[in-house]
Amino acid sequence: MSYANIRTYGLKYSDFDFKDELKLSALLETVQESACASADELGFGYDDLRPQGLGFIVVDTHCEFCGPVYLGDKLTVETWPLPPRHVIFERDYRVTSERGEVARLASRWCLVDLKTFSLLLPERLKEAHTRCPYRNEKALEVTRWKIPRIQNGKQVHTRTVGNSDCDHYLHANNAKYADFFLDCFSMEELGVLRISAFHITYSRQAKEGETLTFLREDMEDGAAIEALDESGALCTQMRLWYERRDK
């Protein structure tokens, strides 16, 4: 039988937005918990790698929604690692509730030296790599991992990264960016939009005290958003796909 870590997670009131819909950040936090639980049981979790000065950082997450999540629901997440490709480690997820399938996600990670943040090969994991029950099955086929740069974006807002945004790697946690990006929309705009998919690419880390500038470009099927650091360099991108609820 193919390997998967399968766990059920409860949801809190604070995991839902003003429309009583699941926040994108809450979904990312939930699958992040499942990824950590899977890594722990496979021998390359946080407690295994930290003493070696190693860690995993996520570089891409692509999500497609299959059904709604309601206040009071519990989410069951099935996750598994795919065979690594050079320095890229892939991990997929299926998310269900009591009513059926909710979302499918694909993610890409890198193993890094925490001092230099140089990218490392799977062999650095030693036995945890050679014994890992990698699974070839994809939950979601991503045809294009690279998000094109914005051509005619407009500045929407700036945000200074605070300590509460940061995780144990001392940079803004990946799930936080979903909130940063959705703050580029007003409640009035989001109230009439139904998000069908999103993709986040993390180009560099933002640490406490850094101010990010957010640019948004609207498209027929959604929007693209970029977060730039204080030098104007690209930090993170998001591509959203959505439609109006009255369609």
Average pLDDT over residues 136-141: 95
* Strands, E assignment, the chain: 5-10, 54-65, 74-81, 89-97, 100-113, 119-120, 154-160, 193-202, 211-219, 222-228, 234-244
Residues of the chain with CATH 3.10.129.10: 5-130, 154-244
Pairwise CA distance, residues 11 & 75, whole Å: 8
In the structure encoding, which two tokens stand for residue 135, read together? 């699974």
Q: Which CATH architecture describes the domain 5-130?
A: Roll (3.10)
Q: Which CATH superfamily is domain 154-244 in?
A: Hotdog Thioesterase (3.10.129.10)
Q: Which amino acid is at 73?
A: D
Average pLDDT, the chain: 95
Pairwise CA distance, residues 153 & 245, whole Å: 24
* pLDDT confidence bin for 1, thresholds 50/70/90: confident
* pLDDT confidence bin for 247, thresholds 50/70/90: low
β partners of residue 211: 160
pLDDT the model gives residue 245:
78
**pLDDT tens-digit readout, 49-78:** 999 999 999 999 999 999 989 888 999 999
Closest C-alpha among 50, 54, 48 to residue 128: 48
Are 178 and 15 in contact, with CB atoms under 8 Å apart? no
